[in-house]
Amino acid sequence: MTTATLLVSCPDQKGLVAKVADWLYSHNGNIIHADQHTDASAGLFLMRVEWQLAGFNLERQEIAASFQPLAAAIDAKWQLHFSDRVRRVAIFVTKQDHCLYDLILRHKSGEINSQIPLVIGNHPNLEAIAHNFGINFHHVPITAETKATQEKLQLDLLHQYQIDLVVLAKYMQVLSPQFLAAFPQVINIHHSFLPAFPGAKPYHRAYQRGVKIIGATAHYVTEDLDEGPIIEQDVIRVSHRDAVADLIRKGKDLERIVLARAVRLHLENRVLIYGQTAKSKLGLRTVVFD
Amino acid sequence: MTTATLLVSCPDQKGLVAKVADWLYSHNGNIIHADQHTDASAGLFLMRVEWQLAGFNLERQEIAASFQPLAAAIDAKWQLHFSDRVRRVAIFVTKQDHCLYDLILRHKSGEINSQIPLVIGNHPNLEAIAHNFGINFHHVPITAETKATQEKLQLDLLHQYQIDLVVLAKYMQVLSPQFLAAFPQVINIHHSFLPAFPGAKPYHRAYQRGVKIIGATAHYVTEDLDEGPIIEQDVIRVSHRDAVADLIRKGKDLERIVLARAVRLHLENRVLIYGQTAKSKLGLRTVVFD
Amino acid sequence: MTTATLLVSCPDQKGLVAKVADWLYSHNGNIIHADQHTDASAGLFLMRVEWQLAGFNLERQEIAASFQPLAAAIDAKWQLHFSDRVRRVAIFVTKQDHCLYDLILRHKSGEINSQIPLVIGNHPNLEAIAHNFGINFHHVPITAETKATQEKLQLDLLHQYQIDLVVLAKYMQVLSPQFLAAFPQVINIHHSFLPAFPGAKPYHRAYQRGVKIIGATAHYVTEDLDEGPIIEQDVIRVSHRDAVADLIRKGKDLERIVLARAVRLHLENRVLIYGQTAKSKLGLRTVVFD
Amino acid sequence: MTTATLLVSCPDQKGLVAKVADWLYSHNGNIIHADQHTDASAGLFLMRVEWQLAGFNLERQEIAASFQPLAAAIDAKWQLHFSDRVRRVAIFVTKQDHCLYDLILRHKSGEINSQIPLVIGNHPNLEAIAHNFGINFHHVPITAETKATQEKLQLDLLHQYQIDLVVLAKYMQVLSPQFLAAFPQVINIHHSFLPAFPGAKPYHRAYQRGVKIIGATAHYVTEDLDEGPIIEQDVIRVSHRDAVADLIRKGKDLERIVLARAVRLHLENRVLIYGQTAKSKLGLRTVVFD
C-alpha cells in the first residue's frame, strides 16, 4: 500500500483539523493515520496525516500544488512524503560494530524501510562488515588538522550517493557547524540518559557517580554538542555489582534499540522538531507521532 | 476551562475526521485534544475529540441534537460528556486499605476529578478511614446465602447516592451477572499481570512459578472473571530473594498506581471499549486516548 | 524474630568471609541473610550479615566486644544493629503532602519498621495531617536571616525526640553544613533523575529540554547540593503530550515510591556508603544489599 | 584471570557459609564473588562462590576430591566449573534469524564466553548465516513421522561436536522427553510473558486479549511445555496502535535480549535450579546469582 504523509506545523487557530481533513476528503483521501498536537506554551499546532494514494483523485505530482494554498492560508511549514520514495541512509562509524550490525540487520529484515548504500568510517575496522552485506565503505580518517578537508570529502560522498539521512552509529567525532549547515539531517546515539553525562566517557562517569539506572539517547545533531532535539530514550537498572565494563555491556543493548527506534520513527516521518518560538523559552524538542 | 468531549465509534469509512471536524468548526469549536484510531481487523473507526465550551455557538443542551444527524449518517455509537459534570464514584473495599487511601488522597489533591460520596465494605474495617475524609461508609456483609439480597442493597445505595462509577479497590467478592446488568460501570484492580494468574492468590502462584517480573491489571468488570477489557497494566522486577510477602509489598505499589491511572483515564473519558464485532475474533478491548 | 545485623567495610584481603562467618558460627549464629561485595577500583570489601539472636550464645551487650578484636585485625569500619531497636524518624516538610502521607501510611501498614514521633514544617500547612495520625508537628519557619537560629531549634527538637534519621519529604530548604555536621543521617528525595536537572524546578527544565523519560532520586544529603550518595532511582516515560503539570503529577508517584524504598533500605540496614578512598576517583556511592 | 566456581545446594543448617569459606581460605583462595540464598519455604541453602586459581594451593584436578568430604558432610549437590574450560554451544533454529544473529554477534564481541561450533536447522534457510561466521550448519528436517529418527540424528551431532548447551533460538519444534532425557541442558526463548500465553501464537493472542504490555521469557526446557524453570524475563509497553505485526517487531528485541541474558548467566554458572522438594509445593525455579 503506497501512502502519502503530510507533516504540518503552524500557529494554533480554530478549524485546522477541519481544513486539512476537508482538503483530503474533497480529493477522496482514505486516511490511514492521523494525529495532531497543540503545544499551548509554544502556541503551535502540529499534525501528521497519512493516506492511501490508491483512490486519491490527485496525481502525486499535483498534491503539493493543491495543498499549497491551504498551507499559505494557515501559515504552515509542511513536508510531503511518499512511502515508495525510499530514503537513502549513510552510516558513520569508528570502531564499535554493534550499532552498525543492528541497523544493517533491521534493514535486511524489513524493519527499517530505507536503502543503505554507504558506510563511512574514520577508522577502517568495519570495512569487512559493510562489504559482507554489499554496502560500499569509505575510509575517511580525520585529525584536527585535516577535519575541514575530510568533512568536505564526506559531504561529496553524501552528494554522490544521494544520501537523505546520516546516522552516527557510535561515530567518535564531532561534526562541525559547516558540515551541519551543508547536511543537517543527522541522527546520533549518545550513551547516556541526556542531559545527564553529556560529552565523553558517560559510562565511566555514571559509575563514579554511583547512579542506579543508566540510559541512552537518540537525538538530531545540532551545533550544540549533545543538546539536539531528543527523539527517543531508554534506560536499564544497574547496581553496585556492575563495574564499568558491565555498564558498557548493558548500555550497548540500549544504544542499539534506542538508535534503531529513532531511525525508524524518522524514516516513517513520525518526528517533527519544534521549539524556540518568540512565545516560548523551549529548547528544540520533538513531537513523535507514534 | 469547561470542555465537552465526544467519544465516537463507527464502521470505518472515508471522510469521518472531516465530517466531525467540520461539524465542530461550523459551530466555532476550539479543539483542545483530538485523537482517532482505526482498527483494521475490526473494521472500526474510534475517535475522541474535546473542545472548549466558551465560544462554541451551541448551548450545551443543543449539542446532542445537533450532532445526532451526523451520528446517524455514519452509523456511530457515541457519548457526550461535559467536564463540569463531575462524576460520582463509589469505592468497594474489604480489609486492605492501600487502594482506598490512594484514591481518596489523589481525589483530595485534585488529581482525580470526581466526587467520592460513598464507600461500601463487606467488612467494617475501613469505616474510620472513610469517615476521616468525610465519606459515608456502609457495611454490607456478604455470604453465599445473602449475596442476592445484599447486592440488591448495594444497588439501592448506588442509586440513592447517584453513583456513576464503582471502583473495586481490593474488594474480595465477585459481582454477580445480575449486579453487572443493573450497574455495568465497574473498574477492578487484579493483582497480577493478566492473563497470567487469574483468580485467587496470584502472588502465591507467581512465587511458586518463579517468575522474574510481577504485575497488576486494571480492567472493566464483565461476567467473565478477570476477562474484562484491560485499561492499564504495569510491572516490577522480582528475584529469588523476594518471598511471597515481598511480592505482596511490591505489588501494592503497582495496584495503587495502575488502579489510579485507570480511574483517571475513565473519568477523563479517554477509554473506549470495543471488539467482538462480526468481522473480528477480538476479545473486548480498549482504546486509551492518552 | 529478633535479629542482629553487622555492616562491615575494610580493605580487601583474603579470608574475610571465612573470618566473619567463623566468628558467627563459633557463637552458634544462624545466618538469615549474608551478602558481600568487593569494589576492585576502591580496593574495598563490604559485607552485610544478619543472624537470629535466638540461639546465639552471646548476650546482645557482649556482641560488640566480642567482634571488636576481629574488626581491628581486618582494619574494618563496622556498625551493629538490632532489629528490635526501632529507629525514630523525623520528617521535614514544606507544603506538599504526598510524600508525608506515603511515609505515614507505609509506617502504619508495617511496611516501614520505625517510629515517627515528629514532623517539622517550615510552613504550617501539614500540621493537621500529622495530628490526624497522632504525630507531633512543629512549625519552624526559616528565612535567610533566621536560618542559623532556626536550624539550631530543629537540632534541639531532633535531640529532644531522640531522632535517628531525618527524611526530607519535599522539604524546600537546603540544610547548612553546620546542621549536617551536627546531624548527618538525612535522606532527601530529588525530583529528577540525578545528575540530570540538579537544583530548582527540574520538571520545568525537563519539559523545556524535551526529554522522553523523567525520574526521581533518593540520596543521602551532603554539603554538596544534590551530590550525595544515591540510594535509589526510578523513571517513567513521558511524551510531547505531557505538559509540565503532567510531569509533576507523574513524578509524584516516582517521588513517593523512590523515597519510601530508600527509607526502608536504610532502616533495614541494607545501605553502606563508600568511595573517595586514596586509591580511587570515585564519588561517594552506595552498596545496597537488597 | 582464571577462576573456579562452586555451585552448592543443600538442606539449610548452621555454619554453611563458614564451612565453605573456611575450606577456601585454608587453601589460600581469593574469593572474587560469593553469594548465597536461603529459601525458607523449601528449607534449602544455595550458594555460588568464585575464586582465583592463581595462588590457590590445590591443583585444579585436586579440588573436587578436596571438597568432596565437606559436600558429603552437609549433604550437598554441587558443581565445579573452571572459567578456561569454554563451553560448546549448539544453536537450534527454524527460519527466523534475529536470535541466531544476536547470539553469534555477542559471541564475536566477547560478551558470551563460549564456542559455537554448530547450528542445526529443521529448515535450511539460515545456513548461509552460519557459514558466514565459520559455523557448521546441519539441516535436520523433522516431521511427525520422522521425529524419533531425526532427534537421534540431532543427539549424534551434539555428541560428535561435544556440545555442552543447546539454545533454542526460535526453534519451532517441541523436543521429546527422550531427547531431553539424553540431553537435558537446553535453554528456550518463549515469546510471551509466561505463564501468560503459553503455546502457539502468543503475539496474536496478546493482541486479541488487548494487553498493554508484552514480554518474553527464557527458561530451561522440561517435558512440560513452557513450564520449565524461568531464567529471565522482560517486557515492553504496547498500545491499541500496535497491530500484531508491531507486537512481533517489538517482541523481537525482547526475545534477543532476554535469551542472550539467560545464555550468559548460564555460561557464567550463575543459575541454580531448585524446587519440588518434599517440604514445598514449589515448581521448578531458579536462583540467579547476578
Q: What is the DSSP string of D193-227?
A: -TTSS-SS-HHHHHHHHT-SEEEEEEEE--SSTT-
Residue A284 maps to a domain: no
What does the pLDDT read at residue D283?
A: 82
Find out whether the peptide bond into C195 is cis, omega within 30 degrees of 0. Answer: yes
What does the pLDDT read at residue C278?
A: 58
What is the Cα–Cα distance from D95 to D172, expressed in whole angstroms? 9
What does the pLDDT read at residue B9?
A: 96
Residue B179, pLDDT > 90, answer yes
User: Cβ separation of A240 and C208 shorter than 8 Å?
Assistant: no
C84, C100, C131 - which closes a domain: C84
> Where does D29-164 show beta strands of DSSP type E?
30-39, 44-52, 77-82, 88-93, 115-121, 136-139
Please name which of B136, B137, B133, B138 lies closest in space to residue B108, comparing C-alpha atoms.
B133
| Cβ-Cβ contacts under 8 Å, A240 against chain C | 37, 39, 285-288
CATH number of the domain where residue C253 is located: 3.40.50.170
What is the Cα–Cα distance from A187 to A191, expressed in whole angstroms? 13
Q: Please give the DSSP secondary-structure letter assigned to residue A111.
A: S
Low-confidence ranges of chain D (pLDDT < 70): 277-281
Percentage of chain B modeled with pLDDT above 70: 98
C24, C51, C84 - which closes a domain: C84
C28 and chain D: CB distance < 8 Å anywhere? yes
A37 and A163 in a single domain? The answer is no
C13, closest residue in chain D (CA to CA)? D30
Which residues lie below 8 Å from residue B125, measured CB to CB, with a gap of 6+? Answer: B94, B95, B97
Which residue in B17, B25, B237 is closest to A14 by CB distance? B25
User: Cβ separation of C208 and A281 shorter than 8 Å?
Assistant: yes
Pick among B212, B213, B285 to test the D interface (most D CBs inside 10 A): B212
What is the Cα–Cα distance from B209 to D193, expressed in whole angstroms? 12
Can you tell me whether residue D158 is helix, strand or coil?
helix
Beta bridge partners of B272: B287
What does the pLDDT read at residue B193?
A: 95
Q: Is the dihedral of CA C9, C10, C16, C19 positive or negative?
A: negative
Which residue in C25, C34, C237 is closest to D15 by CB distance? C25
D42 and chain B: CB distance < 8 Å anywhere? no
What does the pLDDT read at residue D278?
A: 58
Q: Place A277 in a pLDDT band, splitting at 50, 70 and 90.
A: low
A213 and chain C: CB distance < 8 Å anywhere? yes
Catalytic residue among C39, C164, C226, C242: C226
What does the pLDDT read at residue D277?
A: 59
Return the partners of chain D (3 or more C-beta pairs < 8 Å): A, B, C
User: Cβ separation of A34 and B15 shorter than 8 Å?
Assistant: no
CATH number of the domain where residue D76 is located: 3.30.70.260
Q: How far is C256 from chain B (nearest CA, A)?
A: 10
B34 and chain A: CB distance < 8 Å anywhere? yes
User: Cβ separation of C97 and B111 shorter than 8 Å?
Assistant: no
Q: In angstroms, what is the C-alpha Rg of chain B?
A: 21
C146 and C168 in a single domain? The answer is yes
Which residue in B213, B233, B240 is closest to D211 by CB distance? B233
Residue A290 maps to a domain: no
C234 is catalytic: no
Q: How far is C122 from chain A (nearest CA, A)?
A: 30
A106 and A22 in a single domain? The answer is no
Q: Place C283 in a pLDDT band, splitting at 50, 70 and 90.
A: confident
B133 and chain C: CB distance < 8 Å anywhere? no
Residues of D belonging to the active site: 226
Number of domains in chain A: 2
Residue D236 maps to a domain: yes
Q: How far is A33 from chain C (nearest CA, A)?
A: 17
Residue D85's Cβ-count burial label (10 Å; 0-12, 13-18, 19+) is: exposed
**At which residue does the C-alpha cell 586509591 appear?**
C279
| Cβ-Cβ contacts under 8 Å, D253 against chain A | 257
A218 and A147 in a single domain? The answer is yes
C58 and C71 in a single domain? The answer is yes
Q: How far is C11 from chain B (nearest CA, A)?
A: 28
Which residues lie below 8 Å from residue A147, measured CB to CB, with a gap of 6+? Answer: A176
Return the partners of chain A (3 or more C-beta pairs < 8 Å): B, C, D
Q: Place A42 in a pLDDT band, splitting at 50, 70 and 90.
A: confident
A236, closest residue in chain D (CA to CA)? D234
A232, closest residue in chain C (CA to CA)? C212
User: What's the ipTM?
Assistant: 0.94
In three state form, how does the secondary structure of chain C look?
CCEEEEEEEEECCCCHHHHHHHHHHHCCCCEEEEEEEEECCCCEEEEEEEEECCCCCCCHHHHHHHHHHHHHHCCCEEEEEECCCCCEEEEEECCCCHHHHHHHHHHHCCCCCCEEEEEEECCCCCHHHHHHCCCEEEECCCCCCCHHHHHHHHHHHHHHCCCCEEEECCCCCCCCHHHHHHCCCEEEEECCCCCCCCCCCHHHHHHHHCCCEEEEEEEECCCCCCCCCEEEEEEEECCCCCCHHHHHHHHHHHHHHHHHHHHHHHHCCCEEEECCCCCCCCCCEEEECC
B178 and B116 in a single domain? The answer is yes
Tell me which residue range forms the domain holding D38. Answer: 3-84
- Residue-wise pLDDT for C194-251, tens only, equals 999 999 999 999 999 999 999 999 999 999 889 999 999 999 999 999 999 999 999 9
Report how many helices (DSSP H) and strands (DSSP E) chain B contains, helices first.
Answer: 8, 13
User: Cβ separation of C15 and D38 shorter than 8 Å?
Assistant: no
Q: Place B42 in a pLDDT band, splitting at 50, 70 and 90.
A: confident
Please name which of B54, B60, B49 lies closest in space to residue B23, comparing C-alpha atoms.
B49
Residue D282 maps to a domain: no
C18 and chain D: CB distance < 8 Å anywhere? yes
Residue B76 maps to a domain: yes
Which residue in B18, B28, B36 is closest to A25 by CB distance? B18
Q: Show the CA angle centred on residue C100, arms to residues C94 and C105, nearest 5°.
A: 165
B258 and B194 in a single domain? The answer is yes
User: Cβ separation of B18 and A14 shorter than 8 Å?
Assistant: no
Q: How far is C42 from chain A (nearest CA, A)?
A: 11
Return the partners of chain B (3 or more C-beta pairs < 8 Å): A, C, D
In three state form, how does the secondary structure of B40-107 look?
CCCCEEEEEEEEECCCCCCCHHHHHHHHHHHHHHCCCEEEEEECCCCCEEEEEECCCCHHHHHHHHHH
Percentage of chain C modeled with pLDDT above 90: 94
C-alpha cell at A91: 552510516
List Cα–Cα distances, D150 to D89, D94, D118, D154, in angstroms. Answer: 19, 15, 16, 6
Please name which of C279, D122, D246, C149 lies closest in space to residue B41, comparing C-alpha atoms.
D246
Q: Give residue C69's region: left, alpha or beta (phi > 0; psi -120 to 50).
A: alpha
Cα A233 to chain centroid distance, Å, stands at 13
C40, C58, C84 - which closes a domain: C84
- Residue-wise pLDDT for A262-273, tens only, equals 999 999 999 999
Question: Mean pLDDT across the stretch A203-210?
Answer: 94
Beta bridge partners of C215: C235
Residue D283 maps to a domain: no
B9 and B99 in a single domain? The answer is no
Find out whether the peptide bond into B195 is cis, omega within 30 degrees of 0. Answer: yes
B18 and chain D: CB distance < 8 Å anywhere? no
Q: Show the CA angle centred on residue D3, arms to residues D2 and D4, nearest 5°.
A: 140
**At which residue does the C-alpha cell 542472550 appear?**
D260
D204 and D133 in a single domain? The answer is yes
- Residue-wise pLDDT for C251-271, tens only, equals 999 999 999 999 999 999 999
A102 and chain C: CB distance < 8 Å anywhere? no
B107 and B189 in a single domain? The answer is yes
D92 and D76 in a single domain? The answer is no
C234 and chain B: CB distance < 8 Å anywhere? no
Which residue in C15, C25, C36 is closest to D14 by CB distance? C25
Which residue in C213, C240, C281 is closest to A235 by CB distance? C213
User: Cβ separation of D97 and A109 shorter than 8 Å?
Assistant: yes
Percentage of chain D modeled with pLDDT above 90: 94
Average pLDDT, chain C: 95
Q: Place C89 in a pLDDT band, splitting at 50, 70 and 90.
A: very high
Residue B215 maps to a domain: yes
A58 and A111 in a single domain? The answer is no
A19 and chain D: CB distance < 8 Å anywhere? no
What does the pLDDT read at residue C279?
A: 56
What is the Cα–Cα distance from C106 to A90, expressed in whole angstroms? 54
Can you tell me whether residue A194 is helix, strand or coil?
coil
Residue A251 maps to a domain: yes
Give the count of beta carbons closer than 10 Å to the beta carbon of residue C201.
13
User: Cβ separation of D101 and A97 shorter than 8 Å?
Assistant: no
Residues of B belonging to the active site: 226
